[in-house]
Amino acid sequence: MEIRKVLWPTDFSGSAEAALPHVQSLSQNYGAEVHVLHVLEDIIHHQGWYGDFESQHVEKLMEKAQQKAKQNLDQICTNHLEGCPLYIKHVAVGDPAAEILKLIDQEKVDLVVMATRGKSGAFDYGSVAERVTKHSPVPVTTIPVENPEKG
């Protein structure tokens, strides 16, 4: 299997960063292009949680969230992927698993490397990782993350 493009989805959690050494190794050993993806959930679908906002306020909130996500991606890539031959940053809005699967197809990704769970960390295997693993047309390497509460 030739590995030309690797996708690393991140929610900016420490759990997601656990996959970084594997991503770096694949990039350096195979000269693979790294696609870094952060997915924002569209708050318009969760307005009840945040109160009733006018659409212009929701748009402003989403714009600020996208700007912040881009800044976080810039920082992560500068700090951790500088030695990689090529990395491409993506910010998407929607369901995380669906957006990961969409980017796999759009960018013709060869391999996905992701943590077994993200920010919530409630379960040993998160729902996003489970759905991506189940529905991905390409191999998915999941990196187990220790649950500090289980000690």
Is residue 84 in a domain? Answer: yes
pLDDT at position 151 is: 42
Q: Where are the alpha helices (DSSP H) in 11-116?
A: 14-17, 20-30, 47-50, 55-80, 96-107
**Domain limits at 47?**
5-143
- At residue 41, the pLDDT reads 84
pLDDT of residue 117: 67
The reported pLDDT for the residue numbered 50 is: 53
Whether the pLDDT of residue 144 is over 50: the answer is yes
Q: Is residue 148 part of a domain?
A: no
Report the distance separating Cα 96 and Cα 10, nearest Å. Answer: 10
What pLDDT does 51 receive?
A: 58
pLDDT-based confidence at residue 114 (cuts at 50, 70, 90): very high
Q: Which CATH number goes with the domain that contains 76?
A: 3.40.50.620
pTM score, whole prediction: 0.85
Asked, for residue 149, whether it belongs to a domain, the answer is no
Residue pair 67/40 in contact (Cβ under 8 Å)? The answer is: no
Q: Does 58 fall in a domain? A: yes
Q: Is 41 part of a structural domain of the chain?
A: yes
Q: Per the structure, how many domains does the chain have?
A: 1
